[in-house]
Structure 1
Amino acid sequence: MTTQPPPDRRLSQLIFAVALTSLLVLGMVRVVFESLKNKGSINVVDLLKLQNHRVVRLPITVSDDEVIPDDCNVFEGKWIWDNISAPHYTEESCSYLVKQVTCRRNGRTDSNYQNWRWQPSACNLPRFNALKLLEILRNKRLMFVGDSIQRGMFDSMVCLVQSVLEDRKKSLVRIPPRKIFRAEEYNATIEFYWAPFIVESNSDHATNHSVLRRFVKLGSIDNHSKQWEGVDILVFESYIWWMYKPLINATYGSLDKVDEYNVTTAYRLAMETWGNWIEKSINPSSQTVFFMSMSPTHLWSWEWEAGTDGNCFSETQPIQKPIIYWGTGSNLDIMRRIKKVIGKLKIKVRLLNITQLSKYRKDGHTSVYGERKGKLLTKEERADPKTYADCIHWCLPGVPDTWNQILYAHILQDYHTS
């Protein structure tokens, strides 16, 4: 015979159960209310953090507003001033930022470069949602491959997602030529792999890559590609290292025969080697590949303001022109070769054409507020911006955050259609 507990004990158990249920309901209502107040809509991935900070895994919903319409080219549009939703993070809130990109910390007095939002002409980009992206990346690897420009995009992505993770459940390690950010709770990694030419070269050392005589192996990629095998989402980029001189020392095949190649010819041969690896190694059912178009430079102020003789130094506003602006910091021959190689591939590779939209952002570079050869510029060097201003790399928060927002939109769209 089962013995029933005394009435007063049953009453206590009932009161406890009701109280616990009420607390859980109130907690859910509070989270929903905060989500509505802050974002205007409820994101189910944001909903609950219960006891011990365990994230309750719920299915991701992608609304119609978050999907890019087929007839919308997200790379056509304009920069809109937005000091409400931008930036997504600050230098202070992201401890993973390196000195090369922390322009404000390094002495830059203006911060307007952080508050411009890219607005496509025919649609809206979805608001970046770190928890939603991390859920999509659960048990997956996202890797950025390229040079220091691509490393800046990696740094940006890490800062965009890290704030929603507890300190003890996130980490960043450097295993040259890789940097690996891990979100422990999601078993997900965001990685960077140093390969400035994508194919092999004598500049492949992650930290000691400044050489007097650059040399590229146009037909060799295996030493790099073995690190890319099985990565779920790959984002490639390679441009500025090719543009040092019109000719580049390279070999194609035998290492005993080194010739001077025209840069655009050498670039095409390197991209064809990369393309052959893509077709041989990528599984389109489980892997996604993107290629970033060139990140533009702003070395000559006469291009956007006739009669001047400066560069990006002291620029605080984007280029405001009613027509499409294109300066010498972007090589059209290289752009055509990228498109041609990608267009011939049987494996789908999407081109993230960030060149035109970034070309307007003369204000976003590190200028004299970054590093040179691993050290911040001296007071004397900063006083000579014509010589020392870096009009290649970008401050963070800044332009690379927009590149990642566009990448996020494509990843979200893939999830929606899968």
Structure 2
Amino acid sequence: MDVPLSSSAALRRKGCPPLYFFIPVAPILFITILYGEHFLIIFGWQSEVHRPHQTLSPVKKKDGEKLAFAVGEAERGCDIFSGRWVWDERGPHYQEAECPFISSPLACQEYGRVDTDYQNWRWQPHSCSLPSFNASLMLETLRDKRMMFVGDSLSWGHFYSMVCLVQKIIPPSYDARSITAWNGSLTVFKAKDYNATIEFYWAPFLLESNSDNPVIHRIKENDRVVRRDSINKHGDHWKGVDIMVFNTYIWWMTGLKFKIQEGAFDEDDIDIAEVPTEEAYRMAMKSMLRWVNENMDPSKTRVFFTTMSPVHINSIEWGAHEYGNCYNQTDLIHDANYWGSDCRKSVMKVIDEEFRKSRYPITLLNITQMSSYRKDAHTSIYKKHWDPLTPEQLADPVSYADCGHWCLPGVQDTWNELLFAKLFYP
């Protein structure tokens, strides 16, 4: 939904700025987060200054049971999600120009970004160290197997990050490594010599919805509809995957209510009900967990769920100018007590509540807090714009800066370092 600047200013005064959010195959969307409440304490995202740090729902496993793909265990008491960013002179794992697969909305240097400091920060947990990402181990583990990222455009960036991390050790020929789009929703990177694939599947709600077309999905917030208990349509494409990484959040942010459809989308007589967003999101989590339990073998498959990716759309939150966002931000937020806006959905607590009930050992990747400090690392204005920018926009870069997605190399590579750590050292 396009929000005029006058409305944007009013929302800033209320402390709930609109979200300038870009979907990878569509023009910029302006999404307004209308309400929210603190759920940090539920997830354990509050600082140790305020309270003892709590982790997310633990991975459930029986005594003596070894999770699939694990080669060791984390240090006792090690919480890799609680830490700080430290400067790393070694730089990123790869250079933008070295990864030919980076999609244009994530290639910030190609589109004019000159500073590169955002690439040189490394995540350092407080009580331990992250194992170094090992591309050879990752590919050998994926030999004859499939890894899939499922969700929206943030999952899409997570996918491309993983591709860039592993592709550098593969000979640079088309036969050895390639990306293809098979059915529109599914994009596949294949490492031929390993018979391994890393895949991305577009399903912004996980359930069937009227936003499932990966090219034509410009559905206004209030017109988005999800079909109840319809995960199998997408799930049929997920069967046989060995490492699954789910994410869904931002597309649910439409306001107090969300539309749920009972029948199929091609039926003439359909029944649409508006329910609280938290209830709709809970329905999706229950469906996902039920599907995983029915279709995946925990002795052979690992399942991950990535938590909310933060946005930096209101600079007043970190004590800067009232009218501003991530545009022209080149430094981190160094305040360990910074948690961002209160404008977050209470539905996030549903993840913790529902996952604790799951019989399947699902690993939560808590990327929210560590990413909250990184106002410097968004794509901002340095990306391909699918619609021509107006003279008014060009005169005011803040108005079209993308403060939801991340440059590559960058923050999402750290997400994959966390994924690597939890996959091999749970």
The one of 100, 107, 110 aligned to 1:102 = 107
What is the match of residue 315 of structure 2?
301
1:360-393 Cα offsets, whole Å, 9 max, x none, are: 1111111111234x35757763432232111111
CA distance in 1, matches of 2:127, 2:390: 45
1:327-374 Cα offsets, whole Å, 9 max, x none, are: 24643x2321011111111111111011111111111111111234x3
The question of whether the paired residues in 1 share the 8 Å contact of 2:318 and 2:340 is answered with: no
The one of 244, 255, 263 aligned to 2:277 = 263
Secondary structure at the aligned position of 2:369 is classed as: helix
Greater Cα offset, 306-315 or 95-104: 306-315
The one of 241, 251, 257 aligned to 2:261 = 251
AA aligned to 1:361 is R
Q: Give yes or no for the alignment of 1:184 onto 2:192.
A: yes
Mark the CA change 1:91 to 1:375 in structure 2 (over 3 Å): closer, same or farther. farther
Q: After the TM superposition, which residues 215-230 of structure 1 pair with which residues of structure 2 at under 5 Å, given as runs? A: 215-230=225-240
Aligned residues: percent identity? 45
Q: Give yes or no for the alignment of 1:159 onto 2:178.
A: no
What is the match of residue 64 of structure 2?
none
Q: Give yes or no for the alignment of 1:112 onto 2:117.
A: yes
Secondary structure at the aligned position of 1:122 is classed as: coil
The one of 85, 97, 103 aligned to 1:92 = 97
Secondary structure at the aligned position of 1:309 is classed as: coil
1:49-84 Cα offsets, whole Å, 9 max, x none, are: xxxxxxxxxxx996x7xx521311110000111131
CA shift, 1:206, in A, is 1.3
What is the match of residue 335 of structure 2?
321
Q: Give yes or no for the alignment of 1:172 onto 2:185.
A: no
The question of whether the paired residues in 2 share the 8 Å contact of 1:297 and 1:330 is answered with: no
Q: Give yes or no for the alignment of 1:337 onto 2:350.
A: yes
Secondary structure at the aligned position of 2:347 is classed as: helix
AA aligned to 2:193 is E
The question of whether the paired residues in 1 share the 8 Å contact of 2:318 and 2:338 is answered with: no
CA distance in 2, matches of 1:100, 1:284: 35
The one of 191, 214, 230 aligned to 2:224 = 214
The question of whether the paired residues in 2 share the 8 Å contact of 1:68 and 1:413 is answered with: yes
Q: How many residues align?
A: 349
AA aligned to 2:226 is V
What is the match of residue 385 of structure 1?
397
What is the match of residue 359 of structure 1?
372
Mark the CA change 1:369 to 1:241 in structure 2 (over 3 Å): closer, same or farther. same
CA shift, 1:257, in A, is 1.5
Secondary structure at the aligned position of 1:406 is classed as: helix
The question of whether the paired residues in 2 share the 8 Å contact of 1:289 and 1:349 is answered with: yes
Mark the CA change 1:380 to 1:230 in structure 2 (over 3 Å): closer, same or farther. same
CA distance in 2, matches of 1:118, 1:253: 46
Unaligned stretches of 5+ in structure 1?
1-59
CA shift, 1:178, in A, is 0.7
AA aligned to 2:124 is Q
> Larger Cα Rg: Structure 1 or Structure 2?
1
Q: After the TM superposition, which residues 40-119 of structure 1 pair with which residues of structure 2 at under 5 Å, given as runs? A: 67-84=73-90, 86-119=91-124
Ranked by relative contact order (alpha carbons within 8 Å, sequence separation 6 or more), the top structure is: 2
CA shift, 1:306, in A, is 5.4
CA distance in 2, matches of 1:404, 1:111: 20
CA shift, 1:184, in A, is 0.8
AA aligned to 1:161 is V
Q: After the TM superposition, which residues 130-149 of structure 1 pair with which residues of structure 2 at under 5 Å, given as runs? A: 130-149=135-154
TM-score, normalising length from structure 1? 0.79
Secondary structure at the aligned position of 1:344 is classed as: coil
Secondary structure at the aligned position of 2:258 is classed as: strand
CA distance in 1, matches of 2:320, 2:393: 26
The question of whether the paired residues in 2 share the 8 Å contact of 1:315 and 1:363 is answered with: yes
AA aligned to 1:170 is R
AA aligned to 2:79 is N
AA aligned to 1:315 is Q
Secondary structure at the aligned position of 2:370 is classed as: helix
What is the match of residue 277 of structure 1?
291
Secondary structure at the aligned position of 1:167 is classed as: coil
CA distance in 2, matches of 1:173, 1:286: 26
RMSD of the alignment, in Å? 2.0
The question of whether the paired residues in 1 share the 8 Å contact of 2:289 and 2:358 is answered with: yes
Q: After the TM superposition, which residues 124-135 of structure 1 pair with which residues of structure 2 at under 5 Å, given as runs? A: 124-135=129-140
Unaligned stretches of 5+ in structure 2?
1-68
AA aligned to 2:303 is V
